[in-house]
Amino acid sequence: MFVLKPVVISQMALSVVLLCTAQNTSWVVNLPSAPMSLEGKVPTGFILKNTSGKPVVSFTLGCVVVKKEKPSIVSTFPAQEFSIDPGGSFSRAVWDADYVDEYHDCVIQEKAKLALISVGFQDKTSWRFSEPVAEVKH
């Protein structure tokens, strides 16, 4: 006899919700100066393309809101250690990832967008998105 556990059922239900709600790729955003481009794929997959010219060894995605053209990081996902050669790419379907609940909280509930927020390179250098500093008016 085949028995579904509640966790499996909730993940299946979430997958159905994601399939029905994410009919476009507006749930991703590319931040200024990012060394990789992020492309959303219908319904909920994404592709990261290494446009830096340097081998990537890790990356972190995050949840970002954009107000008045200024992105702000709301939350971060666990760092992913994965080698990506220059010109290479990494693709994933969200429901296959380790962060289904975080994706749901970010994109579905918070109405934010998925973005690349940090990258580690093989040469031990890194890139991290720096949020714009608000101007102080005197």
Q: For residue range 59-81, list pLDDT tens digits in order.
A: 999 999 988 888 999 988 889 99
Q: Alpha helix (H) ranges present in 1-138?
A: 6-21, 100-103
- Residue range 13-38: average pLDDT? 68
Phi and psi, residue 123, nearest 5°? -80, 15
- Domain assignment present for residue 1? The answer is no
Comparing 1-10, 27-36, 98-107, which segment has the lowest mean pLDDT? 1-10
Contact 66, 91 (CB under 8 A): no
Domain with 21 in it: 6-128
Question: How much is the pLDDT for 69?
Answer: 82
Task: Please give the tally of structural domains in the chain.
Answer: 1
pTM for this prediction: 0.73
Question: What would you measure as the largest C-alpha separation in the chain, in angstroms?
Answer: 72
Rounded to a whole number of angstroms, the distance between the first and last alpha carbons of the chain is 72
- Domain assignment present for residue 67? The answer is yes
CA distance 32 to 105: 24
- Residue range 45-71: average pLDDT? 92
- Domain assignment present for residue 114? The answer is yes
Q: For residue range 108-135, list pLDDT tens digits in order.
A: 888 899 899 999 999 999 999 987 655 5
